[in-house]
Amino acid sequence: MLAVDKKGGTVLFLNPRTFETEIVLGGFKKTVHELLVVPEAARAYVPIFGDGIHGRNPNPQNVLCVFDLEKRELLTMIDLWPCSAPHTLRLGPDGLIYVTCENSANIAIVDPATNRMVETIETGSSNCHRLTIAPDGQRLYTENEEDATISVIDVPGRRLLGKIETPSPLGGIAISADSRTVVAVDDTEPALLLIDTERERLRGKVRLRGVPQPAQIARYSPDWSLLAVTSMNSGTVTLIDPSFEDQTTVAVGSQPMDMAFYNERLFVACQGDGSIHVIDVPAGRQVESFAAGVGCECLGFF
């Protein structure tokens, strides 16, 4: 199990059974931020974002760290210049890695076979935040937090197609298994905005039950049977079925951020108190929690 300790500035290798921290890798510039694990290649990728936060990052970095999961060590660093403040990253169906770079407001495309940036795509935003890639590999969507827009990227053509306006600023983004619905997390109230990708417009809003404050991160399970949404300010994670009709909200630790699904459990990283909480998905309840690092933001399994 791998964890990115954003507040501690380290990358942790954890025992997936005992949850003990086995290896701590440090010495990185500020700040390790987000995570992509590619188990098939025994690689993990962690951006170095900068010493600020979204929208206030005066000293952005431009490096993507590559870790060897078999040797459990830093393998190399990929220079993303002139892209700056790399943030969310996802592996596309084409085998390339796509990274939102906030301060430069573009997408960096990385070839993991060569560990080089091969191209960039402009997003037309002021600072693109998170991204999601359609399962069919045709479109990439970035949520541009303060802009209240979603950029639509033609992945094969590597170009910006346009932007979808949303009624409020955004905090996170995901996409359904059929590539027809973008789920955008409302940053002003505890709700999800459902975007029709064919018509490129809002088709509905889902209120998060038992969540008093706006949410932030949305993540589908690997089999697309569940959507999990964390609310950093509410200390909750909400489990939602694909029809958006059934919801279960579970209280976790302080400032829950990103998540990782493993079998029938969901692991939630809580950066506010250095805890990781384990949710039994079928039962819809927390079954365990443990300490890891100072304040982990992201988790992954390999």
Length of the chain equals 302
The tally of CA atoms less than 13 A away on the side-chain side of residue 178 is 8
Helix (H, G, I), strand (E, B) or coil at 302: coil
Domains of the chain, by residue range, sit at 208-302
Distance CA 65, CA 213 (A): 33
Dihedral class, residue 59 (left if φ above 0, else alpha if ψ from -120 to 50, else beta): beta
Cβ atoms of 260 and 266 closer than 8 Å? yes
Under CATH, what is the fold of the domain 208-302?
Answer: Neuraminidase (2.120.10)
Chain centre distance of CA 40: 20
Per-residue pLDDT for the chain (302 aa), expressed as one digit of tens each? 999 999 999 999 999 999 999 999 999 999 999 999 999 999 999 999 998 776 677 888 999 999 999 999 999 999 999 999 999 999 999 999 999 999 999 999 999 999 999 999 999 999 899 999 999 999 999 999 889 999 999 999 999 999 999 999 999 999 999 999 999 999 999 999 999 999 999 999 999 999 999 999 999 999 999 999 999 999 999 999 999 999 999 999 999 999 999 999 999 999 999 999 999 999 999 999 999 999 999 999 99
Which strands, in side-by-side order, build the sheet including 21-25?
Answer: 21-25, 10-14, 2-5, 296-300
Q: What is the CA radius of gyration of the chain?
A: 18
CB burial of residue 228 (10 Å; 0-12, 13-18, 19+): buried
CB burial of residue 199 (10 Å; 0-12, 13-18, 19+): exposed
pLDDT number for residue 57: 74
Distance CA 302, CA 286 (A): 23
Helix (H, G, I), strand (E, B) or coil at 40: helix
Distance CA 88, CA 131 (A): 6
Distance CA 31, CA 33 (A): 6
- pTM comes to 0.96
How far lies 283's CA from each of 92, 208, 246, 279, in Å?
32, 19, 13, 8
CB burial of residue 180 (10 Å; 0-12, 13-18, 19+): middle
Name the residue type at position 230: T
Residue-by-residue DSSP string for 205-262:
EEEPTT--S---EEEE-TTSS-EEEEETTTTEEEEE-TTS--EEEEE-SSSEEEEEEE
